[in-house]
Amino acid sequence: MLYRENGQFKTSYAADQQIFPIAQDRWAIVGILVFAFIGVPLLVDEYLFRAILIPFLILSLAALGVNILVGFCGQITLGAGAFMAVGAYAAYNFHIRVDGIPLLVSFLLGGLTSAAVGIFFGIPSLRVRGLYLAVATLAAQFFTDWVFLRVPWFTDNASSGSVSVSNLQVLAWQIDAPVDKYLFCLAFLVVFALLAKNMTRSAIGRQWMAIRDMDVAAEVIGIRPLFAKLSAFAVSSFFVGTAGALWGFIHLASWEPAAFSVDRSFQLLFMVIIGGLGSIMGSFFGAAFIVILPIALNQFLPALGGLFGVTISTAGISHAELIIFGALIIFFLIKEPHGIARLWSTGKEKLRLWPFPH
């Protein structure tokens, strides 16, 4: 009843093209942002920040990048972990080698380096597609694994490939308490999500989606596949690379190449598939599902067992966690192959008409 757009008339195309055309959505998003920036820091303890919220924010950003490439442009990639690694190590090198470089600048330069590497590994997409492209991007993964382990220059001659950073600050803001890290990542994510939304609703986004849906027709109406595909690789790798820099600097503080292994690539791909391909919102849902659900299950299962008077061993919990997690993924993919974002939008559509069926 409350979620209605009755009486909200659009009198200009500008009003019709805004990101949230329905007033209730605008209020909801303002509410969520206020809560995230002000409410959460007051309410949440350190463990939640470290274990859930910070990883969730950073992986959402990475998933956003992967979604631009896979969901919007239709180019499957298994190299997301590699681009995170490139972003992290590039930002690290700028951070230690350029004196007095601001932290933000080194993050963005890390992202840009990752974009350049992304364009390079995106070149095969001009010739191959689908699973073959996935295999080609997998090459990026093994290549970066090797480079950061074996070329000491990139890790400032650390023999194990492990590097660490400390004493991070932006202007006068010291980022070491979990709440500061959380706010820093949140600000990044909000800005990048806005940029992603703007791109996907303007000409470049339509080019990507046109290439995804029907590449021959796209070319016929004057879209150059070369530009559309490589720009998707660049933007996607920029997002993923920046997320990598955040993951290394803010979340881990000291890391080695294994932090960005092929597992990470798969994890990010699963996030966008489960969350919803071709949906900004879906990237957040996917990241939440994959980051939060295992931890939630871990906490919730012993309590549930206790309710029935059953004590579950620690090993039993971790097994059950995997089983339930896997089952849920299969369930979602069967019930809604377009991901949680589609469930969400179907729900909203139903709500607009409720209590009438149509």
Count residues near another protein (CB under 8 A): 30
DSSP code for 311: P
C-alpha 23/C-alpha 44 separation (Å) is 29
Q: Which stretch binds another protein (CB under 8 A): 138-146, 161-169, 171-179, 219-227?
A: 219-227
Question: Is there binding between residue 9 and another protein (CB under 8 A)?
Answer: no
Evaluate the omega torsion of the peptide bond into residue 355 and state whether it is cis, within 30 degrees of 0: yes
Pick one of 169, 174, 202, 299: the residue that binds another protein (CB under 8 A).
Answer: 202
Buried b (16+ CB within 10 A) or exposed e, 174-200: ebeebbbbbbbbbebbeebbeebbebb
Token pair for residue 144?
A: 């970066």
Among 122, 161, 244, 278, binds another protein (CB under 8 A): 278
Of the pair 63, 204, the CB lying nearest another protein is at: 204
Half-sphere exposure for 18 (CA within 13 Å, toward CB): 11
What's the closest the beta carbon of residue 272 comes to another protein, in angstroms? 15
CB of 196 to another protein, least distance (A): 8
User: Cβ of 23: how many Cβ atoms within 10 Å?
Assistant: 12
Interface stretch with another protein, choices 50-58, 112-120, 221-229, 323-331 (CB under 8 A): 221-229
Q: Does 231 bind another protein (CB under 8 A)?
A: yes
218 binds another protein (CB under 8 A): yes
Q: Which of 68, 185, 223, 273 binds another protein (CB under 8 A)?
A: 223
Name the CA radius of gyration of the chain, rounded.
21
Q: Record the tokens describing residue 195, joined without a space.
A: 């940029």
Q: Is 212 in the site for another protein (CB under 8 A)?
A: yes
Given candidates 42, 43, 221, 307, which one binds another protein under the rule CB under 8 A? 221
If 0-12 CB within 10 Å is exposed, 13-18 middle and 19+ buried, where does residue 166 land? Answer: exposed
Closest approach of Cβ 161 to another protein, in Å? 34
4 or 338: CB nearest another protein: 338
Does 13 sit near another protein (CB under 8 A)? yes
By CB under 8 A, tell whether 199 contacts another protein: yes
Nearer residue to another protein within complex by CB, 96 or 126: 126
- Of 189, 193, 204, 288, the residue at the interface with another protein (CB under 8 A) is 204
Asked whether position 246 contacts another protein by CB under 8 A, the answer is no
- Decide if 329 contacts 274 (C-beta within 8 A): yes
> Judged by CB under 8 A, which of 183, 185, 210, 280 binds another protein?
210
Q: From CA 310, how far away is CA 57, in angstroms rounded? A: 35
- Minimum distance from residue 198 beta carbon to another protein (Å): 4
β-sheet bridge partners, residue 163: 255
**Residues forming a β-bridge with 164:** 254
- Nearest CB to another protein, comparing residues 174 and 198: 198
Distance CA 164, CA 158 (A): 10
Cβ(229)–Cβ(74) under 8 Å? no
Question: Does residue 125 interact with another protein by CB under 8 A?
Answer: no
What is the phi/psi pair of residue 309, to 5°? 70, 25
Contacts to another protein by CB under 8 A: 13-14, 16-17, 195, 198-199, 202-207, 209-210, 212-214, 216-224, 231, 235, 278
